[in-house]
Amino acid sequence: MDQIKDVLNVFLSRIIGFIIFLVLLAVVNIMAYYIPNETFRQTVLLLNSNIWIIVIFTIVLMIGEIFGALIFPFNLPAPLFNAIGAIFLIRFIFNIFEFLNTLLILRLPFNFSTWYLVISLIIFVIVIIFGYVKIFSEMFPALKKIKEKEQK
CA distance 28 to 24: 6
Q: How high is the pLDDT of residue 25?
A: 94
pLDDT, tens only, 47-75: 999 999 999 999 999 999 989 888 888 88
- Return the exposure string of 69-106: e unless at least 16 CB atoms fall within 10 Å of the residue's CB, then b: bbeeeebebbbbbbbbbbbbbbbbebbeeebeeeeeee
Confidence (pTM)? 0.81
Q: How high is the pLDDT of residue 151?
A: 66
H helices of the chain, in order, are 2-34, 38-49, 51-68, 78-103, 112-151
Mean pLDDT of 18-32: 93
Could you tell me the CA-to-CA distances from 116 to 92, 97, 107 in Å, in that order?
Answer: 10, 11, 17
CA distance 85 to 54: 10
pLDDT, tens only, 73-124: 888 999 999 999 999 999 999 999 888 888 887 777 777 778 889 999 999 9
CA distance 124 to 85: 9
Instruction: State yes or no: pLDDT of 1 exceeds 60.
Output: no
Helix axes 2-34, 38-49, angle to 10 degrees: 140
Q: How high is the pLDDT of residue 149?
A: 65
Question: How far does Cα 56 stand from its chain's mean position?
Answer: 9
Q: Single out the residue of 14, 131, 117, 122 nearest to residue 62, CA to CA.
A: 14
Instruction: State yes or no: pLDDT of 34 exceeds 80.
Output: yes
Mean pLDDT of 18-28: 94
